Amino acid sequence: AEDSPIQIDALTDVQVLYLDFDPLLLQQECACPHKAQVTANLLREMGRSALFLNQKMRILAQNRLRNRIKLYLQMLPVKPGGELHLDMGRGELADYLCVDRSALSRELGRMQKEGILAFQGQQVRILDQSFLSV
């Protein structure tokens, strides 16, 4: 199973109910053997789309470009040594963050000068680990 990138903090004590949808979706009684797989695929894709939109809304709600960059980098898997691989180029990232490409490049340059990160192409190394902490 895949770890969920969603975190929920409860204000009071709660009980968590984990539901396994596989038995529901993968019933053998279906008249069409492909129906369950199509249903499972659609639900999985809907979940991914909902997660993507939720993450994008969180990013765009940030007033500062640095905070948008931080949230985007927090979504990426960190390799040993604090290395990340951006899944898009600068132009695409600027579009995703809804900022001008030159503004993004300027902010990334500042962050590199401040010793927060180092980058080469789509490879980013986090130099200040506290930057990605919540």
As a whole number of angstroms, the distance between CA 5 and CA 108 comes to 24
User: Domain containing 75: what range?
Assistant: 64-134
Same domain for 35 and 55, yes or no, is yes
Same domain for 35 and 76, yes or no, is no
How many CA atoms does the CB half-sphere of 87 hold within 13 Å? 8
* Residue 43 confidence (pLDDT): 84
* Residue 92 confidence (pLDDT): 95
Same domain for 69 and 57, yes or no, is no
Same domain for 18 and 38, yes or no, is yes
- Residue 1 pLDDT more than 60? no
Q: pLDDT, tens digit, for every residue of 3-54?
A: 676 777 888 999 887 767 666 566 656 566 677 777 778 888 888 898 889 9
Task: Specify the number of domains making up the chain.
Answer: 2
Closest CA relative to residue 84, chosen from 131, 50, 134: 131
* Residue 91 confidence (pLDDT): 94
Which CATH number goes with the domain that contains 75? 1.10.10.10
Sheet with 83-85: strands ordered across: 83-85, 123-126, 117-120
